[in-house]
């Protein structure tokens, strides 16, 4: 068995990355969407209009068996370093770490000192490098982009933020921490996240006008992370589209994915996770609010695609498009959280001036989310969603297109987010390293996709194992098989075994039927966890509950102040406490 937490790719390892012949090297653009589900893009069978991304898919390769972490920060660490997330120092969201994991090597909340980013290697090799958008890998001087190979950067170092203005979207943050080139920065008055991320990327590329060196641009969008927000002109076309609810959408997405040949015709669409509501069980107002929220979600994704189209058009006008390779992906599955279910959150929204008004939902000053049921539909045909290791949480859309990339069409081989960094280095003719700027660095655990794109299969052999873990949700892939554990509240903490080649919906558990294989893969997972520095989660830990607990411990006074202010305002309005109690 070849165990891949310590794998060395076919690319040879050397002490420094040399500058190669510049005319042979393409520009590299990485476009990372946030919380976009497997079937959310038009090219994957979605009802959402994404023509610019679809056009890239049509001229390159569309992957149907690509996987990432179930949460964002670990995925971003793996994307940039080609390393398993714990080895890269980011094994979980820093905001949800249990106290027992604080300071452990795999849970630093920033990139470890013994890894190097693909941006740093490209920069050393003569590339101009820039990043715009969500960073979420730490905001100390040594953690921000300038210390990791980026010449220019304008980034958000938080799990998310408002898309219309510079303010927090969760009470765990006092503000929205944006940084330009490592220094605290302010946003313009006309800010909208997708537009701004593209505008800044264009500005940074233009600074190299006339330069003969190629560029590496990393555009990390906030779409479609909570809060779901979009300009009215993008939302209006989806009004009424989701009125039939999540069960109908989930089935339609499943049928479209199968019809496109992205999943086997024989697969079964498994049930939604236990505890989710039936559409018909909702009140008319609740159905209207969720349908509108999903329309805003669709509009936000189409707005992102629109601004990607502006970026592509700019490259065409510069004459750069034909010599550019695009990587388009999502960091994980769709977001299931419904923040207003958290005690005190509705009061925080009121205190902060956020509205959930149906007519204006998605516009500036409003706050929307799609909830776990529509998240399950967006992840269709996968099981579960973001935070969980079911296919709905970790199987993500992924497209590669451009200079030197064959028009491979559909690629069904298993691939992993750690494979992107070594692929970029191959395209740029830059070698991997074991030493960088006088310090030893670990070899990448991913492997280049270039042989696979050239038709050499399989990408990972039947004896290769690839593991992942985040907050106790874990998986190990080996050949066609997947070992998986999903933790509460939507999982049960037990291990399951699936043949995802024929059952990507994870509907038939093979653990009892294949006990020897199950035991072998459990042992392989344990070795992966030991080698990668994975720590078992404490008894009773739940990721989102830990987030709420941490905030309440640090900011319980805030809730008390909000409630006291609310009672004061009610009293001032003649709405006495006794009357309030009677009405409740």
CA atoms of 557 and 561, how far apart (whole Å): 6
CA atoms of 289 and 353, how far apart (whole Å): 19
Catalytic residue chosen out of the listed positions 86, 101, 136, 307: 136
Q: CB 156: neighbour CB atoms within 10 A?
A: 24
How many Cα atoms are found within 13 Å in the side-chain-facing hemisphere of 311? 31
CA neighbor of 268 nearest in space, from 51, 499, 102, 81: 499
CA atoms of 22 and 19, how far apart (whole Å): 8
CA atoms of 133 and 196, how far apart (whole Å): 8
Classify each residue of 215-239 as buried b or exposed e, where b means 16 or more C-beta atoms within 10 Å of its C-beta: bbbbbbbbbbbbbbbbbeebbeebe
With H, G, I as helix, E, B as strand and everything else as coil, classify residue 406. Answer: coil
List the structure tokens of 392.
């709905």
Residue in this structure with the two tokens 């909830």, named with its chain if needed: 371
Reply yes or no on whether 72 is catalytic.
Answer: yes
Contact 30, 325 (CB under 8 A): no
Q: What is the DSSP string of 232-300?
A: HHHHGGGTTTTTT-HHHHHHHHHHHHHHTTSS-TT---PPPPTTPPPGGGS-HHHHHHHHHHHHHHHHH
CA atoms of 145 and 118, how far apart (whole Å): 12
CA atoms of 112 and 118, how far apart (whole Å): 14
CA atoms of 463 and 487, how far apart (whole Å): 27
Contact 477, 414 (CB under 8 A): yes
List the structure tokens of 65.
């068996």
CA neighbor of 78 nearest in space, from 454, 386, 382, 329: 329
Q: For residue 79, what is the enclosing H or E element?
A: helix 72-81
Reply yes or no on whether 12 is catalytic.
Answer: no
Measured in degrees and rounded to the nearest 5, phi and psi for residue 110 equal -150, 170
CA atoms of 516 and 118, how far apart (whole Å): 39
φ/ψ region of 109 (left if φ > 0, alpha if ψ in -120 to 50, else beta) reads left
CA atoms of 287 and 293, how far apart (whole Å): 10
CA atoms of 352 and 217, how far apart (whole Å): 35
With H, G, I as helix, E, B as strand and everything else as coil, classify residue 330. Answer: strand
CA atoms of 324 and 205, how far apart (whole Å): 13
Give the residue numbers marked as catalytic. Answer: 72, 136
């Amino acid at each position: 068995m070849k165990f891949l937490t310590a794998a060395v790719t076919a690319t040879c390892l050397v002490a420094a990355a040399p500058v190669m012949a510049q005319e042979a090297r393409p520009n590299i653009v990485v476009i990372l969407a946030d919380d976009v589900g497997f079937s959310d893009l038009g090219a994957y069978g979605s009802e959402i209009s994404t023509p610019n991304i679809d056009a890239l898919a049509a001229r390159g390769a569309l992957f149907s068996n690509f996987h990432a972490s179930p949460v964002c920060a670990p995925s971003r660490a793996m994307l940039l370093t080609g390393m398993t997330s714990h080895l890269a120092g980011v094994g979980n969201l820093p905001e949800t770490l249990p106290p027992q994991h604080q300071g452990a090597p795999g849970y630093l909340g920033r990139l470890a000192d013994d890894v190097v980013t693909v941006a740093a290697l490209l920069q050393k090799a003569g590339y101009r490098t820039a990043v715009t958008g969500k960073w979420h890998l730490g905001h100390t001087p040594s953690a921000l982009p300038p210390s990791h190979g980026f010449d220019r950067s304008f980034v958000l170092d938080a799990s998310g933020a408002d898309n219309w203005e510079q303010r927090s979207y969760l009470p765990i943050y006092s503000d929205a921490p944006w940084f330009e080139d490592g220094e605290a920065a302010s946003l313009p008055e006309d800010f909208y996240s997708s537009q701004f991320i593209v505008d800044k990327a264009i500005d940074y590329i233009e600074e190299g006008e006339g330069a003969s060196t190629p560029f590496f641009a990393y555009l990390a969008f906030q779409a479609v992370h909570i809060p779901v927000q979009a300009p009215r002109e993008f939302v209006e076309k989806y009004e009424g589209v989701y009125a039939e609810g999540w069960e109908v959408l989930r089935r339609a997405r499943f049928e479209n994915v199968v019809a496109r040949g992205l999943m086997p015709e024989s697969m079964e669409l498994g049930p939604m996770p236990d505890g989710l509501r039936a559409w018909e069980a909702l009140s008319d107002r609740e159905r209207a609010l969720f349908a509108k929220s999903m329309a805003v979600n669709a509009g936000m994704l189409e707005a992102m695609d629109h601004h990607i189209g502006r970026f592509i058009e700019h490259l065409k006008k510069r004459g750069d498009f034909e010599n550019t390779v695009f990587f388009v992906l999502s960091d994980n599955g769709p977001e299931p959280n419904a923040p207003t279910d958290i005690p005190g959150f509705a009061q925080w929204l009121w205190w902060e001036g956020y509205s959930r008004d149906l007519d204006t939902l998605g516009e500036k000053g409003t706050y929307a989310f799609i909830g776990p049921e529509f998240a399950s539909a967006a992840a269709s045909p996968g099981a579960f969603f973001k935070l969980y290791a079911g296919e709905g949480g970790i199987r993500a859309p992924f497209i590669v297109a451009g200079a030197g990339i064959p028009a491979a069409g559909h690629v069904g081989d298993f691939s992993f987010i750690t494979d992107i960094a070594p692929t970029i280095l191959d395209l740029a003719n830059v070698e991997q390293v074991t030493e960088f700027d006088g310090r030893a660095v670990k070899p990448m655990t991913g492997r280049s996709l270039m042989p696979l794109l050239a038709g050499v299969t399989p990408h990972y052999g039947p004896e290769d194992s690839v593991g992942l873990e985040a907050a106790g949700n874990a998986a190990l892939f080996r050949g066609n098989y997947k070992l998986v554990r999903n933790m509460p509240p939507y999982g049960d903490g037990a291990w399951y075994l699936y043949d995802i080649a024929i059952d990507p919906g994870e509907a038939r558990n093979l653990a009892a039927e294949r006990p020897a294989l199950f035991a072998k893969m459990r042992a392989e997972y344990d070795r992966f966890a030991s080698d990668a520095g994975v720590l078992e989660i404490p008894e009773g830990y739940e990721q989102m509950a830990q987030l709420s607990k941490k905030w309440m411990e640090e900011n319980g006074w805030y809730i008390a102040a909000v409630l006291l202010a609310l009672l004061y305002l009610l009293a001032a309005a003649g709405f006495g406490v006794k009357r309030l109690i009677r009405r409740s």
